Amino acid sequence: MSMQVMRGWAARYAPRVGLIGLPLCLLGPVMQAAQAADYDGSPQVAEFVGEMTRDYGFAGEQLMGVFREAQRKQSILDAISRPAERVKQWKEYRPMFLTDARIARGVDFWRQHEAVLARAEQEYGVPAQVIVSIIGVETFYGRNTGSFRVIDALSTLGFDYPPRAEFFRKELREFLLLAREEQVDPLTLKGSYAGAMGLPQFMPSSFRAYAVDFDGDGHINIWSNPDDAIGSVASYFKQHGWVAGESVVIRADVTGDHADEGLTQGIEPVKTVGELRALGWSSHDALRDDRPVTAFRLEGSDGPEYWMGLKNFYAITRYNRSVMYAMAVHQLSDMLVQARGVK
C-alpha cells in the first residue's frame, strides 16, 4: 500500500473535530448524522473498541471512526435467521454443483492459471483439480464472492445476533487485525452475509491462519488475485491434513442387515475398515483393517450409495462440515480432470 493511501486511511479515521465553533446552521445536520450512525454510542461497540485498544494496540477514536460508518443490515439478520431448507438428498444436491457450465468454466480457470496451480500442487501436495474445484463450488471461480461489506456483516452479526454473537465478534476482531496487517481500508472489503471473503470464501480467522502471499507482492489478496487465492486454498488443505498422492473416498458394497450400524455419526472417522467389514462392508480397494474412515450413505438417483471417506475426504470436510459438500468437491475435481483431458 502506498504512503498516500495509508495517509488517506489515517485521515479518514482521524478523531472527529468537536462541535464547538460550528455554525448553528450546521449543528442540526451534524447531530442528525451522529444519531443515524448504527453503532455510534453503542455500549457493546464501546466495550469492543476498548478491548481492541487495550489488547491489540488500536487507536480507539480511529476505530470508532470505522464503526461510525458501519451499517446494521436487516437483510443479513434475515438471511442468517431464515429457517433452514429441507435437507436435500444427494440426488438433489449433486446437480446444483456438477453442471456443464461449472465444469467448462473450471477447465478455463485451470488453463488460465496452470502455472500457479502446478506450483501450488508442488509446494503443498494438493492436486490442482481439487483447488480449482473448491473455488468453483464456493464462488463459481470468483463470479459470486458476496456483495456485503465485511464490516457490516460482522458488526451486524456480532452486535445484533445474540445466538452467535461471540463467534462473529471474534471474526470481527480477526477482520480488523487482517485489515491492519494488509494495510487495507476495512470499509472497502466485501464478502458474504456471514463475512466469508474472496474467491475461496475464507472467514477472517482462516485468512489470518492459512492465507498466503503466493505471488510474493507483499500482500495477501484473495478477492481479486487468483494466485493468492490458489495458494491459500492449498495452504488450508495442507494444514488440515491433506496427504499427497492418497485417495479421497472409496465406494463400498454392503450386505446383510447390519450395514447401517457402521454409518458414522458426524464427520470424524471413528470406525475402522475392520469394524465395517464385520458389519457387511467391503470394497474393491485393498484397505488395512486398522484404517479409520468416515462411513456414510447417500441417496443417489439410482438408490442408496455407501462410501468410505479417507483422510483426504476428512480434510475437505474441514473446509465445510458436510459429506455432501466434500463429495461435490471431489466429484467436480474428477470431472474437471476428465473434461480437461478431452479438450
Q: What percentage of the chain has pLDDT greater than the value 90?
A: 85
Q: Decide if 276 is inside a domain.
A: no
Question: DSSP state, 17?
Answer: P
The sheet carrying 292-300 orders its strands as 271-272, 292-300, 303-309, 249-254, 281-282
Mean pLDDT of the chain: 90
> Which runs of consecutive H residues, i.e. helices, occur in 23-127?
24-36, 43-56, 60-69, 74-81, 90-97, 100-112, 114-124
Query: How far apart (Å, rounded) are the C-alpha atoms in residues 339 and 343?
Result: 6
**Lowest pLDDT segment from 36-45, 51-60, 143-152:** 36-45
Q: What percentage of the chain has pLDDT greater than the value 70?
A: 89
User: How many residues make up the chain in this entry?
Assistant: 343
The per-residue pLDDT for 21 is: 33
Q: Decide if 3 is inside a domain.
A: no
The per-residue pLDDT for 62 is: 95
The per-residue pLDDT for 343 is: 47
The per-residue pLDDT for 23 is: 36
The per-residue pLDDT for 341 is: 85
The per-residue pLDDT for 342 is: 59
Query: How far apart (Å, rounded) are the C-alpha atoms in residues 294 and 307?
Result: 8
Whether the CB-CB separation of 323 and 87 falls below 8 Å is answered with no
10 Å CB burial of residue 4 (0-12, 13-18, 19+) is exposed
Sign of the alpha-carbon torsion through 334, 335, 337, 341: positive
Average pLDDT over residues 100-114: 98
Q: Which DSSP string do the residues of 227-261 spell out, in sequence order?
A: HHHHHHHHHHHHHTT--TT--SEEEEEE-SS-GGG
Q: Which entry of 138, 171, 174, 182 is annotated as an active-site residue?
A: 138
Residue 8 has pLDDT above 50, yes or no: no
Q: Decide if 168 is inside a domain.
A: yes
Q: Decide if 151 is inside a domain.
A: yes
Strand partners, 251: 307
3-state secondary structure of 264: coil
- How many structural domains comprise the chain? 1
Q: Decide if 174 is inside a domain.
A: yes
pLDDT single digits (tens) 55-93: 999 999 999 999 999 999 999 999 999 987 788 999 999
Catalytic residue check, 47: no
The per-residue pLDDT for 33 is: 39
Residue 279 has pLDDT above 70, yes or no: yes
Cα-based angle 110, 210, 66 (whole degrees, multiple of 5):
105
What confidence tier does 24 reach under pLDDT thresholds 50, 70, 90?
very low
Residue 5 has pLDDT above 70, yes or no: no
Look up residue 312 and give its amino acid.
Answer: N
Write the CB contacts of 7 (distance below 8 Å, at least 6 apart in sequence): none
Residue 55: which CATH number?
Answer: 1.10.8.350
Terminal-to-terminal C-alpha distance of the chain = 41
The per-residue pLDDT for 104 is: 98
Q: Decide if 135 is inside a domain.
A: no
Residue 36 has pLDDT above 50, yes or no: no
Name which residue leads in pLDDT, 200 or 9: 200
Look up residue 234 and give its amino acid.
Answer: A
Q: Decide if 39 is inside a domain.
A: yes
pLDDT single digits (tens) 312-337: 999 999 999 999 999 999 999 999 99
pLDDT single digits (tens) 221-270: 999 999 999 999 999 999 999 999 999 999 999 999 999 999 999 999 99
Residue span of the structural domain in which 184 resides: 32-77+146-210
The per-residue pLDDT for 48 is: 98
Residue 27 has pLDDT above 60, yes or no: no
Query: How far apart (Å, rounded) are the C-alpha atoms in residues 56 and 175?
Result: 13
pLDDT single digits (tens) 285-317: 989 999 999 999 999 999 999 999 999 999 999
Look at residues 245, 210, 248 and name the one whose alpha carbon lies nearest to residue 230.
Answer: 210
Q: Decide if 159 is inside a domain.
A: yes
